[in-house]
Amino acid sequence: MKLDVIRLEDGEKAGSVELGGDIFGLEPRADILHRVVRWQRNKAQAGTHKVKTRSETSYSSRKVYRQKGTGGARHGDRNAPIFRKGGVYKGPTPRSHAHDLPKKFRALGLKHALSAKARAGELVVIEAAEAEGKTALLARQVRNLGWKRALVIDGAEVNGGFARAARNIEGLDVLPSAGANVYDILRRDTLVLTKAGVEALEARLR
């Protein structure tokens, strides 16, 4: 499929680029995208949830009352889970929530995410992502292009001036091609690729 290339400065056409159908022309499948996003979010989850067991609560370890003759149930100390402020039985402990997903399937998910943006008309290709480091100037250019929630994916490295200028613009994220991922692509309304970014992604996914 062929897509126009525009200039960031004024939005004018600066040529065209041929996008590979095996990467940008697939029929997006929600089940594949769901599995990859779930893998990403589970891997990112901290897993630091923790409760105190009966050995970690601060009550005395003295027996509550004598074993026999009270007419009540027998108990040990106040740290038991059945008492108020006692330890928690089988509560959450720190652990990893990550699970495995084949590398080929992750690459397939990225192809489907790119194809979903292309099919929805939410894919834009720009000539280059370069700026002088001035946030106000870049913000005006982004506003003129109508990007409200956009992800810009550059080549192997992001231009330093562009990264500095974009840092404080709400709704604008910038990633190198190696950082392109399904979750970040889908959560933004507009996907912006530089020509270098298109070449890097096609080289990565073939």
Report whether pLDDT(133) > 90: no
> What average pLDDT does the segment 124-146 reach?
92
Report whether pLDDT(71) > 90: yes
- pLDDT confidence bin for 154, thresholds 50/70/90: very high
| Residue corresponding to tokens 């923790």 | 50
Q: CB-based contacts of 199: which residues, under 8 Å, 6+ apart?
A: 155
Side-chain half-sphere exposure of 8, counting CA atoms within 13 A? 19
What is the third-level CATH fold of 2-46+98-204? Ribosomal Protein L4; Chain: A; (3.40.1370)
For 109, the token pair is 């998910």
**Alpha-carbon distance 51 to 48, whole Å?**
10
Q: How much of the chain is helix, strand and coil, in % rounded to 5?
A: 35, 15, 50
pLDDT at residue 173, as a whole number: 96
Q: State in Å, rounded, how far the first CA of the chain is from the last one.
A: 17
pLDDT at residue 118, as a whole number: 96
Parse the chain into domains and list their residue ranges: 2-46+98-204, 51-91
Report whether pLDDT(174) > 90: yes
Annotate 83-107 with b (16+ C-beta within 10 A) or e (fewer): eeebbeeeeeeeeeeeeebeeeebe
pLDDT at residue 20, as a whole number: 92
**Alpha-carbon distance 183 to 35, whole Å?**
11
SS3 148: coil
Report whether pLDDT(139) > 90: yes
For 43, the token pair is 């891997």
Report whether pLDDT(132) > 90: no
pLDDT 10s digits, 78-118: 999 999 999 999 999 999 999 999 999 999 999 999 999 99
